[in-house]
Chains A and B, each alone.
Chain A
Amino acid sequence: MKAEALRAAVFALVMVAAAAMAVVATPHIYMADQHAREKLADIVPPAFGDWEVDRSVIPVPPSPDLQQVLDATFDETLALTYRNRAGQRVMLSLAYGRNQHKGMNTHRPEVCYPAQGFRVVQGSVPVQLRVDGREIAATRVVAELGPRHEPITYWLVVGEHITHFGYAHRAVAIGYGLRGIIPDGVLVRVSSIDRDQAAAFALQERFIGDLLAAVRPLHLPRLLGAAGQGQDEP
């Protein structure tokens, strides 16, 4: 009986110690509080290169479920449609998540498009974009809703890293977490409505190049992580 009480005491102690260790190990420094975090709308210029925001297009608002998530997590989204002189339209959508430990799977195009009724006709294809001498590990998806055929290029920045959704994303977040930091992140999504996929992806790549060239160097790390660092403000 005595041995049993002792054993119980030891086990209980280990359990209490585990709880204490977890509290100590929990990260509580938000990366977002360590750096300036401007509103997404202030980062992206309304006109650059050959492109200009097309005010005639009203972007589809987020679905009610998504809006709930956004409101609950201090997240932020920005959706703009740009038009060039040739009349081609490209949609730019940015989603900001302050706490990447919570992830942002709701924003993941492979999840968020079907949630709005789209069908993913071509699953995620990883692609290395070479823009402006930079490498961006992006993903391409094609979604469809009735006659609307929408090729999408997107990438995800978590903390200082460009990463992919799923376990890679989780690994980056946990990597920060074990150092006591809660990273924030941005999803950059560019899409256009076009049956010709190759043309659409080429147009999107050009748009991304023009956009990154126009964003102030100070803000580039928001969209590119560490790959966007290193330039001084001119």
Chain B
Amino acid sequence: MSSPAEHTIAAASRRWLPLALLLLGWAAMFGPVYWGLAQTIWASDANGHGPIILAVGAWLIWCKRDALTALPRRPALVSATSLLLLAVLLYVVGRSQTVWTFEIVAQNLVLLALLLAFFGWPGVRVAWFPLLFLVFMIPWPGEWIDAVTQPLKSAVSAVAASLLHELGYPVGRSGVILTVGPYQLLVADACAGLNSIFTLEALGLLYLNLMNYTSPLRTVLLALLILPISFAANVVRVVVLVLVTYHFGDEAGQGFVHGFAGLLLFMVALVLILATDRLLGLALSRSGRGEG
């Protein structure tokens, strides 16, 4: 004979046992990955947004726990097993040969496999947003980053230079080197804004999701508009840094203000995103398709 209290504890542990086991497996498999990432590419310009995406992604999934457990259990074991094996293959190659892209793709595949194994395709449907969100965590191959960074950097420098020229500043540009008065500034990779584009896209998506918009048109439009917004914000950052250097000297431009300019970038971008979203809402509701 067991008391009711013992009964509940037993039931609870039975409920939590699978989750606890899976979390252990997850920690064994991806703990080292996160540790390695933290030492390397998460500390770099192009992938600095990684840990934030991971944390927010985990939280988003946690938010879906009630919706998931309420589902009738229709596991899709064949799909789950094949995805898991594919993930293991990518993981072993990626982990042993330091191909970060493979490791994070494996992470996302394992998550997908687990959802399929326990909740089936309905579970994937419930958790579609966190799954999509975590795609932003996949590091781009260095090749792609280099291919995009250089032209982006040149474009940011060019726009910033012509803007300053219009404002009457003695600005010259040669490639990614800006000269203003006696100072020379090298527009670094970070200023290309690839990192900020990823982060802003992710934040923008999160914002849309939290606002519970159901209009796909509005979502897609905003996601696309975040690209020019992020570009503009990066131009603002470079212009601010040039102005600070010109008026207050090199040290000011490289010191505290340099970090502050990064923050400014995000504030500018977020304000622009919110404003754009409002405008989109107005425009779409006027045409009778949105939900303003």
Contacts and interface: CB of A to CB of B under 8 A. Distances in A.
B138 interface: no
A45 interface: no
Contact of B186 (A19, A117, A145): A117
Q: A interface, how many residues as a size bin?
A: 35 or more
A226 interface: no
Contact of A15 (B29, B118, B153): B29
A218 to B, nearest CB: 31
A145 B142 CA distance: 25
Main secondary structure of the interface of A (DSSP, over half): helix
B175 A15 contact: no
Contacts of A149: none
A25 interface: yes
Contact of A11 (B17, B114, B174, B175): B114
Interface in B162-221: 174-177, 186, 188-189
Contacts of B176: 114-115, 117
B21 A9 contact: yes
A173 B97 contact: yes
Contacts of A12: 21-22, 24-25
A13 interface: yes
A21 interface: yes
Interface stretch (A88-96, A101-109, A153-161, A193-201): A101-109
Interface stretch (B88-96, B123-131, B257-265): B88-96
A167 to B, nearest CB: 7
A117 B92 contact: no
Interface string A1-40: 1001101110111111111011001110000000000000
A118 B175 contact: yes
Contacts of B96: 22, 25-27, 177-178
Interface of A: 1, 4-5, 7-9, 11-19, 21-22, 25-27, 63, 65, 101-103, 105, 108, 110-111, 114-119, 145-146, 166-167, 170, 173-174, 177-178
14 contacts: A5-B17, A5-B21, A7-B117, A12-B24, A14-B88, A15-B26, A27-B97, A101-B98, A105-B146, A110-B146, A111-B150, A117-B177, A145-B175, A167-B143
